[in-house]
C-alpha cells in the first residue's frame, strides 16, 4: 500500500507541478492529508469542489497515512520536495516567469 501511495503522489505531483495555479491547492490538500485531521481535510476538499466519492477516496488515503505514521509522511515529503526542486521544474518556473515579465 505504501508503494501505491508513493507512486500516486509522484504522478500527481509531476502532473500538477507544471501548473502554477494548481500548486497551492495541491500542496494545501496534501498538507491536510498529512496532518491527519478529517475535519481539516473535508474543509480543504470543499474549497476544491471534490465530489463525495473523491472525498471518500481521500479519506481512505488519509487513513493509510495515519496507520503508517511519520515514516510514510516523511517519505512522501522527500519525494515531493525532490520533484518540486528538480532542475526541470525549476527551469520551467523560471522560463514561465520570464515569459510573463
Domains for the chain: give ranges and CATH numbers.
Answer: 19-99 (1.20.920.50)
Phi/psi at 50 (5° precision): -75, 150
User: What's the pLDDT at 52?
Assistant: 92
Distance CA(97)–CA(80), nearest Å, equals 21
C-alpha 2 chain-centroid distance: 15
Q: What is the pTM of this model?
A: 0.61
Task: Kindly state the cell numbers that stand for 62.
Answer: 488519509
- C-beta separation of 48 from 25 below 8 A: yes
CA distance 92 to 48: 25
- Tell me the pLDDT of the chain (101 aa) as tens digits: 555 555 555 555 555 444 555 567 777 888 888 888 899 989 888 888 889 999 999 999 889 888 888 887 888 888 878 877 778 877 877 887 788 77
Q: What are phi and psi of 20, to 5 degrees?
A: -60, -30
pLDDT for 22: 58
On whether the CB atoms of residues 28 and 7 are closer than 8 A, the answer is no
pLDDT at 86: 79
Amino acid at each position: 500500500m505504501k508503494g501505491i501511495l508513493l507512486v500516486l503522489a509522484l504522478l500527481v505531483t509531476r502532473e500538477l507541478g507544471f501548473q502554477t495555479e494548481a500548486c497551492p491547492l495541491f500542496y494545501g490538500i496534501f498538507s491536510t492529508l498529512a496532518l491527519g485531521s478529517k475535519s481539516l481535510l473535508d474543509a480543504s476538499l470543499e474549497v476544491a469542489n471534490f465530489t463525495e466519492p473523491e472525498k471518500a477516496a481521500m479519506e481512505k488515503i488519509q487513513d493509510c497515512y495515519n496507520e503508517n505514521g511519520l515514516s510514510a509522511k516523511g517519505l512522501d515529503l522527500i519525494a515531493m520536495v525532490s520533484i518540486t526542486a528538480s532542475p526541470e521544474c525549476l527551469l520551467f518556473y523560471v522560463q514561465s516567469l520570464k515569459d510573463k515579465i
